[in-house]
Amino acid sequence: MQDIQEIKNEIAQDRRAFIKKVMGGAVAGSLLMVIPATATEIAEQIPGMRAEKTVFTKKRFAFIVDVTRCIGCGSCCVADRNEYDVPDGVYRTWVERYIIDDQDNVFVDSPNGGTDGYTEPRTDIPNPVRDTFFVPKLCNMCEKPSCVQVCPVGATYKTEDGFVLIDPKRCVGCGYCVQACPYSVRYFNKNHTADKCTWCYHRVRQGMLPACVNVCPVQARKFGDILDKSSEVYKILHEPHVISVLKPGMGNKPSLHYVGLRREVV
């Protein structure tokens, strides 16, 4: 209550000055302040990743996207573009909007991959709408990746802990992997090599969640070790939910699971 009283007083004085102080960070201290703790002292988001005795290959990671929660805000796309140097017009992750009318026509769009959120409604829906939802997309981190199969030089590969990565020093830029991916998650970056979402491998190995998972305000993206029975992903995958993957007929066996996905999603 003490804090609230202080704030009330501040408001009473001068709201604009108050805002300025908060925004300017002056309340927090000098601009030249050195933070007391280094980055690694932020608590682990994935338990056990930083321990000396952890064998990282004994973890089995799953990424779950809950379509029933996504609000299409695009925070995930913003965080992803902040984390990596993604060229304009290509995407490591994106969000699609689905609108299904009562004649089973499906209208899909993804303006700028959803990076700016969705600012306009669709006005070209002729019939009443039956269902609407947002679908975030990212690398499916397949167990049998077709991209790894076709890479002529072994530049893209699957690690021992199940992540599909791209070696930027060996990639020759042939584009075969881009053609082979059934989910269109690959693109060419500024260095003329192939690139894609890596489930933030560098963050995960240091015990942090992928950037997009970390920023989702409604917990539509979840990440964790399914061998850890206390993890949320374990619980979800062991409870009766409607869980599916994209394009199961391709045979790639994605590790990206969707909760609440509809059949119209490709």
Partner 1 sequence: MEKEDYKSNYNTHVIRLVVILVVVGVGGYFAKAAFTPDTMGQYGHYRGSNVEEQKGREMRNMTNDSCFQCHKYIRRIHKNGVHKDVSCEVCHGAYADHVKDGKYIGKLPVKRGAEIKALCLRCHNKVIQARPRDSIKVVALPQHLEEKKVRTDHICDQCHMVHDPLLWVKQAREMMGMKEEK
Partner 2 sequence: MISVMSAVAVHGESLAQATNFIFPNDLHVHWSLMIVLYPYITGIVAGAFIVSSLYHVFHVEDLKPIARFSLLFALAFLICATWPLLNHLGHPERAMSMMLTPNPTSAMAGFGYIYSAYMVVLVMEILFIYRPTMVALKEQSSGLVKTLYGLLTFGSDNVSKKAMTLDHKIISFLAAIGIPMACVLHGYVGFIFGGVKANPLWATPLMPLIFLLSACVSGIAGIILAYVMIKKFTGKKIDVACVRTCIKFLWGFFILDFVFEMLEVFTHFYMSTHHWHTLEALLWGPLATSYWFMQVKIFSVIPFFILMFLSLVKVRDKVLLFFAPIVSFMILCQVLLMRWNVVIGGQLMSKSERGATTFHPQWFEKEGILASIIIMVAPVVILWIFGKLLPFWNDEKQTS
Nearer to partner 1, 167 or 228 (CB): 167
Q: Which stretch binds partner 2 (CB under 8 A): 25-33, 34-42, 104-112, 254-262?
A: 104-112
Instruction: Please give the residues from 23 up to 62 whose contact with partner 1 meets the rule CB under 8 A.
Output: 23-25, 27-29, 31-39, 42-43, 45
Sole window of 125-133, 222-230, 239-247, 250-258 interacting with partner 1 (rule: CB under 8 A): 125-133
Among partner 2, partner 1, none, what does residue 134 contact (CB within 5–8 Å per kind)?
partner 1
What contacts 11, CB < 8 A, 6 or more positions away? 18
Q: For 107-153, give the DSSP string.
A: EEE-GGGGTT---S------S-EEEEEEEEE-----SS-HHHHH-SS
Q: Quick one: which of 45, 193, 206, 244 contacts partner 2 (CB under 8 A)?
A: 193
Tell me the closest approach of the beta carbon of residue 74 to partner 1, in angstroms: 6
Sequence-separated (6 or more) residues with CB below 8 Å from residue 120: 111
Residues 139 to 158: which contact partner 2 by CB under 8 A?
146, 148-155
Is 42 among the residues that bind partner 2 (CB under 8 A)?
Answer: no
Which positions from 179 through 208 interact with partner 1, judged by CB under 8 A? 198, 201-203, 205-206, 208
263 lines the binding site for partner 1 (CB under 8 A): no
Please answer whether residues 29 and 223 qualify as being in contact, where contact means their C-beta atoms are separated by less than 8 angstroms: no
Burial 85-110 (b: 16+ CB within 10 A, else e): ebeeeebbbbbbbbbbbeeeeeeeeb
Q: Is 166 helix (H, G, I), strand (E, B) or coil?
A: strand
For residue 194, give the H/E element and its range. strand 194-195
Q: What is the CA radius of gyration of the chain?
A: 22
Contact between 160 and partner 1 per CB under 8 A: yes
Contact 182, 252 (CB under 8 A): yes
Contact flag: residue 9 with partner 2 (CB under 8 A): no
User: Where along the sequence are the contacts to partner 2 (CB under 8 A)?
Assistant: 88-91, 94, 96, 106-113, 120, 122-124, 137, 146, 148-155, 170-176, 178-188, 191-193, 249-251, 266
